[in-house]
Amino acid sequence: MKSLKQDIKTGQYKQIYLLYGQESYLKKQYKNMFIKAMIPSGDTMNYAYYEGKNVNIAEVIDLAETLPFFAERRLIVFENTGLFKAKGAELADYIKELPETTYFIFIEDEIDQRSKLFKAVKAKGHITELKVQDASTLKKWVLGKIAKEKKKVSESTVDYFLNKVGTDMEQIDTELEKLFGYTYDKDFITEKDVEEVCTAHISTNIFSMIDAVANKEQRKALDLYYELLAMKEPPMRILALLVKQYNMLYVTKSLVKKGYRQNEIASKIGAHPYVTSKYMNQSRRFKSVELRTIIEEGVDLEERVKTGKLKDILAVELFLVKNSSPTT
């Protein structure tokens, strides 16, 4: 990412960029920064944007061959086209002859590094994977944004904030804006401020519900459930998330037993390292057989709702009541 910032700062651009990975916020930020830096505001003659999997390659090539209109360069941006997994060979061949005045930026979630297009871009441009950020990086980023607002905060409050709103950078940015508005007349942000104004990500409530179940805090588990219902979350989505979360705990517990470390587990289960640490801590509070039984119960309840044998709201209540009962 440092090289991307350096290119934007110096104006020394590579002719082709590929930005890929799961961190949507960073991809969006860098895309917008490059467009703003490379094309004058309002210049629609020398800028083109293609999105989706139906890109007309012949049309792209015709446009790329056209000299920029009273400008230094022509910029063509491609987003979520799937060209790095299929149908990109024709564009890969053309890239070798790309005119010096035409620049490409590709934004993708997933790519195949064996593809002809990936190899062509690597040979002529710059490729950056924008991964989900680890807990330390997220904390530094949040602290930096708070410092820019000339406000102070304790590290424990930042931890509390991240635990509440989740690890998605776009969500974090939105919640920070709310927090800054709420504390506009204050120099110091507290946990109370976070609690008052920030919206808990649904995964946070799911984690809290599972904690309540593990602690046999039946009332708390049900209160969290009713809170999600009040937020218009469908009961079956809540049940599905609970089952998915318990399944993640089961897999995490199995991997811990096999001696895998946090980063290795995060990679295997496809979760953020910050979230993985929470899975690891939470999984210690259950036996493997207990987790498996809970998962099977959840799947059975889903089936009973689908076949009309049980109402959806009641199904989740039964699930929480049974597993948070002190007798279980």
DSSP of 243-284: HHHHHHHHHHHHHHHTT--HHHHHHHHT--HHHHHHHHHHHT
CB 151 within 8 A of CB 189: yes
Residue type, 149: E
- Burial class for 73, CB neighbours closer than 10 Å (0-12, 13-18, 19+): middle
Model's pTM, two decimal places? 0.66
d(CA 116, CA 257): 41
| Residue 211: both structure tokens together | 């904690």
d(CA 293, CA 43): 60
Fill in the DSSP letter of residue 16: E
Give per-10-residue mean pLDDT for the chain (328 aa): 88 94 90 93 91 92 93 94 89 92 95 93 93 84 94 90 85 92 94 88 80 88 89 87 90 93 86 80 90 93 92 92 79
Cβ contacts of residue 208 below 8 Å, gap of 6+?
220, 224
- Say what the pLDDT of residue 19 is: 96
What's the chain's Rg over C-alpha atoms? 24
CB 189 within 8 A of CB 224: no
